[in-house]
Amino acid sequence: MLLERTMKDLIRKDLDYSGKVIILYGPRQSGKTTLSKMILREIGLKSLSINADQSKYIDIVSSRDLNKLQSLVAGYDLLFIDEGQRVPEIGINLKILHDEIPELKILVTGSSSFLLSNRVTEALTGRKRVYTLLPIAMKELSLIYNTFELTDQLDERLIYGLYPEVINLHGIHEKEDYLMDISSSYLYKDILELENIRYPLKIRDLIRLLAFQVGSQVSINELCSNLKLNRETVERYLHLLEQSFIIFRLTSFSKNPRKEISKLQKFYFYDNGIRNIMIDDLRGLPVRNDIGQLWENFVISERRKKLLYEKKTAQSYFWRTYANVELDYIEEENHTLKAYEIKYSKSKRNPPRSWTENYGENYACITKDNFLQYIL
């Protein structure tokens, strides 16, 4: 099944009219190459496609030599570089191509934003458009499935996640094998290959600790103690995992520091399947005791994709008081606050009085009965 990605038309429009270098970030196996090739087919231009593993091209693309670069792209309308983070000095070479051959359209993918962005940000200031492609969003699945089918597939999404290959595989064992493979071969490959990591096994241990604590406030000091690493190292590893699109964090919302906790944070996974395989638990929902965590991670990650693909500027938080009153998820956009409880089963809870008295009644409870209206 070849799924239409939400941002395809936006990228194609930018390639046609913006005159910018288009950079497509995202985790490995999220479909960046497939999407790029789909765009190339549709755009109908004569295109040169380069994979960063092909040394015969990389020497030229990293040369800083205009004559060599011109000879490489001569006769082509579009240059596509896949896995661009592997190209030495890619930023300055893309700048040369953009400035000296302005009619050439350029599309670059990269799976490791912390590396690629460092190489291109300064060199391509004012010359680039950046897109982030995450695992499949339920909003994208709604293009081929109706609401009944999306709801019927919910248990599977909570367990196996939404990586493109997982969706295309039909057997349970095939899905499990794929998740095992991605967790061992791809998940933090960029971090281990491209960063100076002194304790590579600690990265996996850190991910497992976070996977068990989804939806709970995380103590960095406790992580340091469990991993026997100093705070600077743990913070660095967390940053690398975020930049590799494995996890993301929510900080606590507070405008009343006397009553509201302001320095806590929670970590979530971009994909439920990755979270589950990291704790070696792909069992079905009836025998699990972490359904609440699965549901919270799923809803918040889907909400994150929705905001990203709709180019919304909302900031995301959770909220908790010193009296242990808590809301799972807060969005703030244009000085407007929206508060959400995220409960798998139907709930009639009213918003906490301490929230409504200070921030208003814009509140909803997201359950398995109404979740589609909040993530589609």
Phi-psi domain of 311 (left: phi exceeds 0; alpha: psi -120 through 50; beta: other): left
Residue range 78-90, pLDDT digits in tens: 999 998 888 888 9
Residue 41: the pLDDT is 94
CA distances, 11 to each of 17, 128, 245, 254, 309 (Å): 10, 12, 20, 37, 12
Dist. CA 51–CA 93, nearest whole Å: 16
Residue 194 in this model has a pLDDT that exceeds 70: no
DSSP annotation of 340:
E
Q: What is the mean pLDDT of the chain?
A: 92
- Provide mean pLDDT across the span 9-37: 94
Q: Flag whether the pTM goes above 0.75.
A: yes
Per-residue pLDDT, 250: 97
The pLDDT assigned to 53 comes to 76
Q: What is the pLDDT of residues 27-69, one digit of tens each?
A: 989 999 999 999 999 999 999 999 987 788 888 999 999 999 9
- In sign, the C-alpha dihedral spanning 96, 98, 104, 106 is positive
Predicted pLDDT at 23: 94
* DSSP one-letter string for 313-346: --EEEEEEBTT--EEEEEEEETTEEEEEEE-SS-
User: Residue 349 has what DSSP assignment?
Assistant: P
Contact in structure between 185 and 111 (CB atoms under 8 Å): no
Distance CA 27, CA 113 (A): 9
Classify residue 5 by its DSSP letter: P
The residue ranking higher by pLDDT, 261 or 351, is 351
Q: Which residue has the higher pLDDT, 208 or 199?
A: 208
Average pLDDT over residues 284-304: 97
The separation between CA 217 and the C-alpha centre of its own chain, rounded to angstroms, equals 21
Give yes or no for residue 25 having a pLDDT over 80.
yes
pLDDT band at 113 (very low <50, low <70, confident <90, very high): low
Q: For residue 95, what pLDDT band results from cuts at 50, 70 and 90?
A: very high
Distance CA 317, CA 229 (A): 27
What's the CA gap between 376 and 302, in Å, rounded?
A: 9
* Alpha-carbon dihedral angle through residues 272, 184, 23, 114, given to the nearest 10 degrees: 100
Helix (H) / strand (E) element for 120: namely helix 113-120
Distances in whole angstroms, Cα of residue 199 to Cα of each of 187, 191, 195? 16, 11, 11
172 has pLDDT over 80: yes
Average pLDDT over residues 303-327: 93
Q: What is the pLDDT of residue 94?
A: 95
User: pLDDT-based confidence at 122, cuts 50/70/90?
Assistant: confident
- Ramachandran angles phi, psi of 363, nearest 5°: -145, 145
Provide, rounded to the nearest whole percent, the portion of the chain with pLDDT above 70.
97
Output the pLDDT for position 178: 95
Collect all residues with Cβ–Cβ distance below 8 Å to 273 and sequence separation of at least 6.
Answer: 159, 160, 161, 162, 163, 166, 175, 179
What is the pLDDT, as a whole number, of residue 57? 87
Is the domain 8-132 a CATH 3.40.50.10800 member? no
As a whole number, mean pLDDT of residues 168-182 equals 94
Q: Where are the domains of the chain?
A: 8-132, 141-375
3-class state of residue 248 by DSSP: strand
